[in-house]
């Protein structure tokens, strides 16, 4: 590839590329692309010179829109014209000698490089003071490295513009000179002539190369040509006394490009083809072929695919005929799950043209149902595995897919984990007591899945449960004396022994306060919460069960009995009989364990013990012992309860063993003592 800086010169027939000195290095005729079967649908090619990695590349092309509208096959004109550089010129030998000596000389006596000369390729003799022979030979250099390395030259013509004299014919042959001429290149040529032409000064003289000349055109560097006077120099015929045969030409130094020496080349190249991606894949076959075929000027005689397990592939399977139409070939009888490299090939007179090398796997055989097993399961997981079918050393399974068909698709997943010849997959995060159905399939190296096994089902282990709770959730009126006993039925379907823990939030946070260990599955348990011992209170409780996996019941609640007691009105307020008898009543059946707090006054002004000094007596038995707790002591009257008519009196009664909150009775039903009351009369709100 030519390197350096270029400029271009374009006319209606060619585009010339010049070096920094203005010399034409090579040119291209204006090219065309056309439909092979309809040459009227054609387009002029466009050229683009690009630089990459310090080298220049010439691209020829046409708009994509033209190619998309064309009917294939399409031909892109493959031809080029190359001009010589300013290093061309001629070398002359002249001396007083005989013809044989002049003709056999190994070096010249002079070298010239002009714009034009009339003796470039000449031979002759001048008689005067002695026999004097002279021979002129022209040397040309053409940079033909831009030709495709794989092309086959089908036509090459040397064109040299005549000048001055045209006395005989001129031939062309292979030159062996260097890139810079000197007189020592006089005999640097070899082989036979490529062809010759009777010289003319009226235009370009064209010498069409024969097979040897076409073969000598270099595809990687410079093509060297030597031009000689044909009738005497090349044929080695003495021109005779005082006979001159002069033939002149224009050289590359001539201003402009209209008369520069040039080498026009036509060629065919190996055909072009694109490889189609494999399809119709099975466990034993695949299909591929070629498209975008271009015969590059030589009829395609064969096409097909090359394939193999190594790259580049070398085994051919032919389509069976040539031509430029798209084609496909199926290769069968292959082992399953094996990676194959393949490419399209097409053949013409130049040789084989190949598409890109691609690869594909034959499909893996699906796993058999009996190769897929459930290896273990729990409350939230199922372990599964399938046989690794990757027995072929060229095969390349990339994994197995365990697909959840029942129970939840999120539990599906790929795995490439292999141990002991099996793929293993652990589905986690499952729901206890749910039936999951799975099937499995393989994936090969191309990411293509096989078909699946049948579905296999497995139910995860249910969690232990708590049922039949007492007190029933939301109950009211539960007696707190003695402290409440709670009852629960603990269940485990797989029969494991259980650990049962009781909890409450009486303290404000949940606290586990008792545990029963080694409880048989499906048992009824009870526990007395000593904390549940107060009236008119809502209590909350839970039960935890564990058989290796923990579960917790819902939160249960109940409310204890509400106390609603009062002291019967003391009437009359002015008591004159001793002892005084006071009576306490209750909404709850018969009150029990009643403590009565009271005061008394002799003058309804000064109260015994002061404003808030209280006496008390305990009623420790009743008509019936409803709470079944032995009473303390014996029933008596409240002997100290006496006084005149009470006012701002205070009395409280409650069914409890501890002193209650005390409220003042600051008024009565009627102001019987006619004294000024100290406040508003109310009932005993806290009793």
What pLDDT, on a 0 to 100 scale, did the predictor assign at position 14?
Answer: 55
* DSSP H stretches of helix in 14-117: 64-69, 99-103
Residue 413 placed within a domain:
yes
Q: What is the CATH number of the domain that holds 249?
A: 2.60.120
Angle CA 454–457–461, to nearest 5:
165
User: Of 364, 365, 374, which is closest to residue 455 (Cα–Cα)?
Assistant: 374
The reported pLDDT for the residue numbered 315 is: 92
Same domain, 584 and 555: no
Output phi, psi for 68, to 5 deg. -70, -25
Same structural domain, 198 and 236: yes
DSSP letter at 537 equals: -
Q: 261, 204 in Cβ contact below 8 A?
A: no
Which residues fall within 8 angstroms of residue 63, CB to CB, at 6 or more apart? 43
Alpha-carbon distance of 225 to 190, in angstroms, equals 10
Is the distance from CB of 410 to CB of 427 less than 8 angstroms? no
Last residue of a domain, which of 361, 386, 418?
A: 361
What is the distance between the alpha carbons of residues 492 and 498, in angstroms, rounded to a whole number?
8
Residue 184 in tokens: 């020592």
Residues of the chain with pLDDT under 50: 1-3, 13, 391-395, 586-591, 619-687
E strand or H helix that includes residue 359: strand 358-361
Say if residue 238 is exposed, middle or buried (CB neighbours under 10 Å; 0-12, 13-18, 19+).
middle
Predicted local confidence at residue 624, as pLDDT? 40
- Predicted pLDDT at 417: 64
- Please report, to the nearest 10 degrees, the dihedral formed by the alpha carbons of residues 505, 510, 515, 520 taken in order: 90
Flag whether 2 is in a domain. no
The answer to whether position 109 is within a domain reads: yes
Phi, psi of 46 (to 5 degrees): -110, 145
Query: Contact at 8 Å (CB) between 567 and 521?
Result: no
410: left (phi over 0), alpha (psi -120 to 50) or beta: alpha
**Containing H/E element for 112?**
strand 110-112
pLDDT for residue 426: 87
In a domain, 288, yes or no: yes
In a domain, 20, yes or no: yes
Same domain, 643 and 511: no
User: What gap in Å lies between CA 474 and CA 487, rounded to an integer?
Assistant: 15
Give the model's pLDDT for residue 616: 57
Burial label for 295, CB within 10 Å (0-12, 13-18, 19+), is buried
pLDDT at 617: 53
Report yes or no: 289 and 316 within 8 Å, Cβ to Cβ: no
Tell me, what's the pLDDT at 326? 92
DSSP state of 658: S
Residue 481 falls inside a structural domain: yes
Query: How does DSSP classify residue 609?
Result: T
Same domain, yes or no: 383 and 452: yes
The residue among 21, 47, 77 that closes a domain is: 77
Question: For residue 95, which phi and psi values (nearest 5 degrees)?
Answer: -170, 160
Q: What are the structure tokens assigned to 431, written together?
A: 């729901």
Q: What is the DSSP string of 488-512?
A: EEEE-TT---EEEEEEE-TTSS-EE
Cα–Cα distance measured from residue 380 to residue 534, given in angstroms and rounded to the nearest whole number: 42
Phi, psi of 100 (to 5 degrees): -60, -40
The C-alpha atoms of residue 12 and residue 101 are separated, in whole angstroms, by 49
3-state helix, strand, coil in the chain (%, to 5): 5, 45, 50
CB neighbour list of residue 99: distance below 8 Å, 6 or more residues apart: 125, 133, 238, 239
Judge if 148 and 185 occupy the same domain.
yes
Same domain, residue pair 156 and 110: yes
Provide the pLDDT for residue 285.
Answer: 92
Is residue 306 domain-shared with residue 454, that is, in the same domain? Answer: no
Q: Cβ atoms within 10 A of the Cβ of 127, count?
A: 11
> Same domain, yes or no, for 115 and 200?
yes
Is 84 within a domain? no
Nearest alpha carbon to residue 485 among 547, 558, 537? 558
- Domain annotation covers residue 638: yes
Tokens in use for 344?
């399209």
Same domain as 642, residue 499: no
Taking alpha carbons only, the member of 488, 593, 490, 581 closest to residue 541 is 488
pLDDT computed for residue 456 by the predictor: 86
CA neighbor of 583 nearest in space, from 635, 626, 627, 648:
635
123 and 237 housed in the same domain: yes
Q: Which of 521, 476, 527, 520 is nearest to 504 (CA)?
A: 527
What pairing do the DSSP bridges indicate for beta strands 556-560 and 475-478?
parallel
Number of domains present in the structure of the chain:
6
Strand ranges in 399-479 using DSSP code E only, listed in sequence order: 399-406, 413-415, 418-419, 422-427, 435-443, 456-459, 465-470, 475-478
For residues 329 and 353, the answer to whether their CB atoms sit within 8 Å is: no
Residues 548 and 672 in one domain: no
The answer to whether the CB of 178 falls within 8 A of the CB of 139 is no
Tell me: do 682 and 568 sit in the same domain.
Answer: yes
Q: Of 434, 459, 484, which one is at a domain's C-terminal end?
A: 459
Query: In which domain, by residue range, is 580 found?
Result: 563-687
């Amino acid at each position: 590839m030519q390197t350096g800086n270029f400029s271009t010169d374009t006319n209606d027939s060619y585009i010339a590329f010049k070096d920094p000195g203005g010399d034409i290095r090579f040119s291209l005729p204006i090219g065309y692309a056309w439909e092979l079967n309809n040459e009227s649908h054609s387009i002029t090619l466009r050229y683009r010179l690009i630089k990459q990695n310090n080298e220049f590349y010439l691209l020829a092309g046409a708009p994509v829109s033209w190619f998309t509208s064309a009917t294939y096959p399409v031909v892109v004109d493959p031809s080029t014209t190359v001009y010589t550089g300013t290093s061309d010129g001629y070398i002359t030998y002249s001396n007083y000698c005989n013809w044989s000596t002049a003709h056999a000389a190994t070096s010249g006596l002079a070298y010239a490089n002009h714009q034009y000369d009339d003796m470039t390729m000449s031979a002759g003799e001048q008689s005067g003071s002695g026999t004097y022979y002279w021979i002129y030979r022209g040397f040309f250099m053409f940079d033909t490295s831009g030709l495709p390395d794989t092309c086959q030259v089908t036509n090459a013509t040397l064109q040299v513009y005549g000048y001055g004299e045209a006395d005989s014919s001129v031939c062309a042959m292979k030159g062996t000179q260097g890139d810079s001429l000197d007189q020592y290149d006089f005999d640097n040529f070899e082989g036979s002539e490529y062809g010759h032409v009777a010289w003319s000064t009226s235009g370009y003289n064209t010498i069409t190369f024969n097979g040897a000349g076409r073969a000598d055109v270099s595809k990687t560097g410079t093509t060297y040509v030597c031009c000689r006077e044909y009738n005497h120099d090349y044929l080695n015929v003495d021109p005779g006394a005082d006979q001159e045969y002069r033939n002149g030409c224009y050289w590359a130094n001539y201003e402009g490009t209209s008369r520069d020496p040039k080498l026009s080349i036509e060629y065919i190249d190996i055909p072009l083809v694109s490889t189609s991606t494999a399809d119709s894949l099975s466990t034993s076959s695949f299909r591929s072929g070629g498209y975008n075929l271009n015969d590059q000027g030589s009829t395609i005689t064969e096409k097909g695919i090359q394939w193999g397990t190594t790259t580049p592939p070398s085994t051919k399977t032919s389509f069976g005929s040539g031509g430029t139409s798209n084609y496909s070939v199926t290769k069968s009888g292959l082992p399953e799950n094996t990676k194959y490299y393949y490419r399209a090939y097409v053949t013409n007179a130049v040789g084989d043209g190949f598409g890109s090398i691609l690869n594909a796997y034959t499909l893996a055989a699906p796993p058999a149902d009996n190769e897929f097993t459930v290896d273990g399961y729990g409350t939230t997981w199922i372990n599964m595995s399938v046989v690794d079918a990757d027995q072929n050393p060229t095969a390349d399974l990339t994994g197995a897919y365990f697909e959840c068909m029942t129970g939840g698709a999120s539990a599906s997943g790929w795995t490439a984990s292999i141990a002991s010849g099996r793929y293993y997959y652990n589905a986690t995060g499952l729901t206890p007591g749910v039936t999951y159905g799975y099937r499995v399939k393989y994936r090969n190296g191309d990411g293509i899945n096989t078909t699946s096994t049948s579905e296999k089902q497995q139910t995860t282990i249910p969690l232990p449960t708590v049922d039949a709770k007492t007190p029933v959730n939301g109950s009211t009126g539960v007696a707190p004396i003695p402290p409440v006993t709670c009852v629960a039925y603990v269940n485990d379907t797989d029969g494991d022994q259980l650990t049962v823990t009781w909890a409450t939030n009486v303290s404000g946070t949940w606290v586990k306060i008792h545990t029963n260990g080694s409880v048989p599955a499906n048992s009824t348990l009870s526990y007395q919460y000593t904390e549940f011992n107060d009236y008119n209170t809502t209590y909350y409780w839970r039960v935890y069960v564990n058989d290796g996996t923990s579960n917790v019941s819902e939160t249960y609640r109940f409310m204890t009995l509400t106390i609603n007691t009062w002291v019967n009105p003391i009437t009359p307020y002015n008591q004159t009989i001793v002892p005084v008898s006071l009576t306490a009543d209750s909404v709850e059946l018969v009150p029990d364990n009643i403590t009565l707090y009271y005061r008394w006054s002799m003058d309804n002004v000064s109260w015994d013990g002061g404003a808030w000094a209280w006496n008390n007596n305990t009623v420790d038995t009743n008509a019936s012992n409803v709470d079944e707790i032995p009473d303390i002591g014996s029933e008596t009257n409240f002997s100290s309860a006496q006084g005149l008519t009470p006012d701002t009196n205070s009395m409280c009664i409650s069914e409890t063993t501890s002193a209650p909150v005390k409220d003042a009775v600051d008024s009565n039903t009627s102001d019987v003592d006619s004294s000024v009351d100290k406040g508003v009369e109310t009932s005993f709100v806290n009793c």
